[in-house]
Amino acid sequence: MKGRKHNHIISKQHHIYLGAMLLLLMIAGTFNLSAQTAITATLTADSTHILIGDHLNVRLALKHPKSTRLNMPVVKDSIGNMEFISASKIDTFVEATDEIYSQTYTVSAFDSGQFHAGPIIIPIKKATGETDTLLSNMVIVDVATLPVDTLRPFKPIKAPLAMPYSWREFIPYIIGGILLIILIGVGIWLWRKYRKEKPAVAARPVPKDPAHIWARKELKKLEDEKQWQKGEIKGYYSRLTEILRLYLEYRFSWLALESTTEEIEDAIDNYITKDKARDNLLQLLRTADLVKFAKQVPAPDANIKAMESAYKFIDLTEPKEEEQKKS
């Protein structure tokens, strides 16, 4: 009984609302008779009966002379008292003297009773520059609920169904795993390829003379060239340190020619045990680095002292007589 009374109240309210809207249409038709004789706004629906929540398509067609400027209305929230869902693109059809604009709106209702789609207000701009409005008709729609059998007891809500996994669901994870393995492999390959490695050292010819004799001869040649006296200070220190590094290679089988001063300092204890010889060599190598890389210009007496230090290092590290006899 309460439901029937409620529907009766809603129906009565709709009749009052519809009567008011019809009155407005009649008034609008009276004042805009001349415009409406040339312009029409027609609203049609796919159906006049739907269930709660169903979608309904409502089409608005505007026919007007080409001389009249008319824009399709913008619908946002509702059409009449029905909920607006979406709108299609505007279609245009041109006749001899008229143009027809049409657009389809999707609407719905979420209560039962009698609803109406429309009327829709259309703004009009005449050729004379005057502005006016036009109301479309409206479509009455009956919205019904699903029939409920009250004699049957209510059943509990069913739990979600447990569905078995499909192998297709694991495809993204499998592809991602394969790509990850490929990226790791490429990263390892690039690291091995471009990591900093010492280049392979080609075998150098060993001099016929013992290392200390060879080194003294080379130092004497460098003295006779008088490079630093000619202003070739960098070349002088480069050749001086090269002789000492080759001496270490020939004397101790130590590849010192490819080693930096820091690397020689780290490994020197494995070959030279005398502190005086070690300090003498490292001091000379550091001075040479300042000249070669920091463009430092030593005093003339420092250049002479560097040569003396080189001779002194050879004297301190040359093999003893017992070592020479064994070799």
Asked if 101 contacts 62 with a C-beta cutoff of 8 angstroms, the reply is: yes
Report pTM.
0.40
Q: Backbone phi, then psi, for 262, in 5-degree steps? A: -65, -40
- The predicted pLDDT at position 7 comes to 47
Distances (CA, A) of 54 to 18, 34, 59, 141: 23, 39, 16, 12
**Chain segment 14-26, per-residue pLDDT in tens:** 555 555 555 555 4
Mean pLDDT in the chain?
81
**Chain segment 188-207, per-residue pLDDT in tens:** 988 887 765 555 555 677 88
For the chain, list the domains and their CATH numbers.
Answer: 39-144 (2.60.40.10), 211-326 (no CATH)
How many angstroms separate the CA atoms of 236 and 289, rounded?
12
- Residue 237 pairs in a beta bridge with none
**Chain segment 215-265, per-residue pLDDT in tens:** 999 999 999 999 989 989 999 999 999 999 999 999 998 888 888 999 999
